[in-house]
Structure 1
Amino acid sequence: MRSTNDHSNNRRSNNKEAFKEVIEHIPGLALVSIVTIGSILLQSTTLFSKIIPLSSLLIAIIIGMIIKNTINLPTNTQKGIKFSSKKILKLAIIFLGFKLSINEVLNIGWDAIVVILFCSTLTLVFTIWIGKTIKVPIKRALLVGSGVSICGASAIAAVDAVIQAEEEDVAFSIGAIALFGTIYMFGYPILYTLFHMPDQFYALWTGISIHEVAQVAAASTIAAGKFEEMATTVKMIRVLFIIPVTLILSFIPLNSANDKNNSETKQEKKVTIPWFAVLFFLMILINTIFKIPAPILKGLVTFDNLILTAAMAGLGLDISFKSMKSIGARAFLLGAISSLFISIISGVVVKLVT
């Protein structure tokens, strides 16, 4: 009888602890929700959808950082903010798989697929090498490299979920990649007009070398008909690169003496499979095998954008401008060099195969 009572008491105690944990997350999640909704509403305005196309992800991290650095946030918001930038982020990457199907990948053609993989891989390797040469910490270089070679903020967040870099490194990388991607977004259409580029070349070049999906969509509107859609498809194929990169990084010890987020030494590093990347691929398979009704698919994509924006809001709300000052100019230079590299190498390779 005593054993039964003890078990019942333990269960009640566990339930109370769980309830308390949920309550402690509410203030931070409420703040994240406000930033998320505000970001999505701002993104729908003419300014951020037409004139200066920015994704709700970038808007959310900017608003979050402004709030963090102008208002003394209550300490009871921290748990909810951390939950958004870590846990919700992984869920968002999983649902990202509904934006792509294997059929879309194959329809683009094997020549284009090989070019995409070649340019993305070479850019990531080049960025790591240049980072080492100019003495940028490896994790920072990986974040910049993944943002340039894969898919901007989403890739940076996915890689960070594996390597556990400093929050200021993540924010800096996203900001730098957004800046260079925006420059390309405005610059590419000018080059297209000046040099009378073929639409197929321009679509492939744009999709391979511009960082954010929204930036690719904006830059490719000048291309004719199907080639505008091709640029966005090429960009989404680059998103697939998240899977091998995160899986490989999960087996590589990257800890250093300067890492505040890591208590393990290189010898003690435990291999943790990034299941969010595996589930991301599973969602792609589901989207390929099953004919998901268009309204449901649209709802899933909208939901993913919502929670990915929430994750970026959480990240922004956890970043201090003071902590970013220590990053220095070398990481910014790395982003510039890496962005220029993928633009040149992809332009040359696409020219050779088209």
Structure 2
Amino acid sequence: MLVNRVPGLLLAAAGGAAALVVHALVPYLGTTLVAIVLGFALGAAGLVRDRVRPGLALVSRHVLRVGVALLGLELVLGDVLDLGWGLLLVVVAVVVLGILGTLALARLLGVPRDQGLLVACGFSICGAAAVAAVEGVRRTREEDVARAVSLVVVFGSIAMLAVPALGGLLGLGEVGAGAWSGAAVHEVGQVVVAGGLLGGAALKVAVVVKLARVLMLAPVLAVVSWHSRREAVATGRRPPLVPAFVLAFVALAVVRSLFDVPAGVLDVAGGVQSAALAAAMFALGCSVDPRALRRTGRPLVRLAAGATALVTVVALPAAYLV
């Protein structure tokens, strides 16, 4: 019943609002990072009661998908195509090689396949939103999702600072380093910070390159869903080939590309998206069991480090093709 979920909904809303306030005061602290740390701290302290868990579960699944769908309004296909085929091929290579390489590394490290897939897609495509989207297709454990999101946020924040610095050491120009940041850094918000550190021209190209990676979310999810349906034949539980929130993501991207969407509408949608993702990340953080995280933390951290290094190296040619 909905009334049983109200306490959890209110807690998630408060946690998400707190994360948004912290981000507004300290812009370099990403909203998703703050939200999941707040949630994890609350859960680790034993302050998450059973009566709030139904509401938190609703937010971590369904509200999160709203945020992913609204991400489509940030995509303008014309801007992506203007990057040129060479740079677009690098973007495809980052996503495809990043996912396949991370899955291979997960097998070597003994990380379960579902956890490896969450990390692979999150690090190779668009961070927490990609992790949430894969969860919507695979029906993975909430705790695994929270772990993957935590790692995406932490290692993405490291890349957010490291890639611009490495660009300077390698003698890349402002725009080249911006393109590398967009192709390598995990979260959209983290790319904005990395581009801002480099300059206005770098920020513009970094965001467009990153959105080209976001565009890969739909075909990757279609492939993941197809495999999930094949695996589910024995149980008789087939997920939809393409979930509704992915269709909404594609539809909104098409609308943004074909029509002149009023700035006010985009501002409102952006605000709803930020609030939805912040609340959902907080709810995911609350679901993490610190004991389970300690048991499996080391292999996952190694996987995250390897995935970050792989994506960063594969993305480097972007700096020379922009």
TM-score (norm 2): 0.93
1:304 to 264, 273, 284: 273
User: Does structure 1 residue 285 correspond to structure 2 residue 265?
Assistant: no
Q: 1:174, 1:93 → 2: CA distance? A: 14
Counterpart residue number, 1:259: none
* Aligned 8 A contact 1:203 1:231 in 2: yes
How far off is 1:148 after superposition? 1.0
Instruction: Give % identity.
Output: 26
* Residues 146 and 285 in structure 2, CA contact (< 8 A), matched pair in contact too: yes
- Quote the residue 2:172 is aligned against: 197
- Conserved in 1, the CA contact under 8 Å of 2:174 and 2:199? yes
Choose 1 or 2 for highest CA Rg.
Answer: 1
In the alignment, is the contact (CA less than 8 A) between 1:139 and 1:254 conserved in 2?
no
Query: Once the two structures are superposed, what CA deviation does each residue of 1:264-307 show, in whole Å capped at 9, x if it has no partner?
Result: 68564514231211110001111112211112111111111111
Kindly tell me: are residues 291 and 253 of structure 1, through their superposed partners in 2, closer, same or farther at Cα, counting changes over 3 Å?
Answer: closer
Q: Give the alignment's Cα RMSD to 1 decimal.
A: 2.1
Name the residue aligned to 1:8. Answer: none
SS at match of 1:197: coil
Q: Classify the secondary structure of the residue corresponding to 2:287.
A: coil
Gaps of 5+ in 2: none
Is 1:41 the equivalent of 2:26? no
2:238 is equivalent to residue 270 of structure 1: yes
Q: Aligned in 2, Cα 1:328/1:254: closer, same or farther, shift over 3 Å?
A: farther
Matched-pair contact (CA < 8 Å) for 2:147–2:288: no
Quote the Cα distance in structure 2 between the aligned partners of 1:287 and 1:73.
Answer: 40
Task: Look up the SS of the partner of 1:71 in the other structure.
Answer: coil
How many correspondences in the alignment? 321
Is 1:119 equivalent to 2:82 in the alignment? no
Q: Partner amino acid for 1:172? A: R
Q: Does the C-alpha gap of structure 1 residues 267 and 342 become closer, same or farther in structure 2, counting only changes over 3 Å?
A: same
Map 1:39-188 to 2 at 5 A.
Answer: 39-46=19-26, 49=27, 53-188=28-163
Aligned partners of 2:165 and 2:215: how far apart in 1?
A: 29
Q: Is the 8 A contact 2:138 2:225 kept in 1?
A: yes
User: Does residue 1:26 correspond to 2:6, yes or no?
Assistant: yes
Give the counterpart of 1:235 among 194, 210, 215. 210
Contact 2:137–2:228 (Cα < 8 Å) also in 1: no
Range that drifts further, 177-186 or 58-67: 177-186
**SS of match in other structure, 1:108:** coil
Counterpart pick for 1:321 among 290, 293, 296: 290
* Partners of 1:215 and 1:231 in 2: CA distance: 10
What is the match of residue 201 of structure 2? 226
Mapped to 1, the partners of 2:248 and 2:194 lie a distance apart of 31
Distance 1:317 1:351, change over 3 A: closer
Kindly state the Cα deviation for residue 255 of structure 1 after the two structures are TM-superposed.
10
1:104, distance to aligned residue in structure 2 (A) = 2.0
TM-score (norm 1): 0.85
CA separation in 1, counterparts of 2:148 and 2:208? Answer: 24
Which amino acid counterpart does residue 107 of structure 1 have in structure 2? D
| CA apart distance, 1:117 | 1.0
Judged with a 3 Å threshold, the aligned counterparts in structure 2 of structure 1 residues 72 and 121 are, in CA distance, closer, same or farther, namely same
Residues 1:351 and 1:217: Cα distance change in structure 2 (over 3 Å): closer
Q: 1:353 to 1:237 in 2, by over 3 A?
A: closer
Say if 1:56 and 1:328 are closer, same or farther in 2 by CA, change over 3 A: closer
Aligned to 1:215: 190
Of 315, 318, 321, 1:350 maps to 318
Distance 2:266 2:108 in 1: 45
Partner AA of 1:128 in structure 2: L
| Equivalent position SS for 2:186 | coil
AA aligned to 1:33 is A
Q: Which residue of 2 aligns with 1:12?
A: none
CA distance 1:196–1:307, change in 2 (3 Å): same
Query: Residue 270 of structure 2 aligns to which amino acid in structure 1?
Result: V
In 2, Cα distance between the equivalents of 1:249 and 1:198?
A: 37
Amino acid at match of 2:285: G
Q: Distance in 2 between matches of 1:338 and 1:38?
A: 30
Deviations 1:57-116 (A, max 9, x none): 221111111112213433221211111011111122111111112122122223222211
Comparing 104-113 with 219-228, greater Cα deviation is found at 219-228
Deviations along 1:144-178, one digit per CA (max 9) or x if unpaired, are 11111001111111111211222222222222222
Higher mean C-alpha deviation, range 318-327 or range 289-298: 318-327
